[in-house]
Amino acid sequence: MSAILEVSDLRKAYAGVHALDGVSFAVEAGSITGLIGPNGSGKSTAIDCISGFQKLDGGKVVLAGQDITGRVAHHIARTGLMRTFQTVRIYERLSLRDNLAIANQQFDAANWLDELLRTRRYRDAVEAAEKRARQLVELIGLQRYWEIETGILSYGQKKLVALAAALMPHPKVVVLDEPVAGVNPSRIREIEAALGELNRAGETFLIVEHNVEFITNLCHRVIVLDQGRKLAEGTAAAIHTDPRVLEAYLGMTPEMAEAEMRGAA
Per-chain mean pLDDT for the chain: 89
Using alpha carbons, select from 20, 1, 18 the residue that is nearest to residue 9: 20
Phi-psi category of residue 35: left, alpha or beta, with phi > 0 → left and psi -120 to 50 → alpha: beta
Determine the length of the chain: 265
- In this prediction, residue 264 has a pLDDT band, given cuts at 50, 70 and 90, of very low
- In this prediction, residue 248 has a pLDDT band, given cuts at 50, 70 and 90, of confident
Using alpha carbons, select from 29, 34, 31, 32 the residue that is nearest to residue 215: 34
Q: Can you tell me the distance from the alpha carbon of 177 to that of 236, in angstroms, rounded to the nearest whole number? A: 19
Three-class SS of residue 5? strand
Domains contained in the chain, number: 1
Query: Phi and psi of 83, rounded to 5°?
Result: -150, 160
Query: Over 60: is that where the pLDDT of 247 sits?
Result: yes
Query: Over 70: is that where the pLDDT of 114 sits?
Result: no
- What average pLDDT does the segment 131-152 reach? 95
How high is the pLDDT of residue 250? Answer: 57
Give how far Cα 246 sits from Cα of 81, 150, 213, 249, Å. 32, 40, 14, 5
Segments forming the whole domain that contains residue 254 = 3-264
- Type of residue at 261: M
Q: What is the CATH number of the domain that holds 77?
A: 3.40.50.300
How high is the pLDDT of residue 257? Answer: 47
Query: Over 80: is that where the pLDDT of 108 sits?
Result: no
pLDDT in tens, 41-54: 999 999 999 999 99
pLDDT in tens, 178-235: 999 989 888 899 999 999 999 999 999 999 998 888 998 999 999 999 999 999 999 9
Q: Are 71 and 104 in contact (CB under 8 A)?
A: no
Q: Can you tell me the distance from the alpha carbon of 196 to that of 174, in angstroms, rounded to the nearest whole number? A: 14
Using alpha carbons, select from 213, 204, 265, 203 the residue that is nearest to residue 239: 213
How high is the pLDDT of residue 236? Answer: 87
State the pTM of this model: 0.88
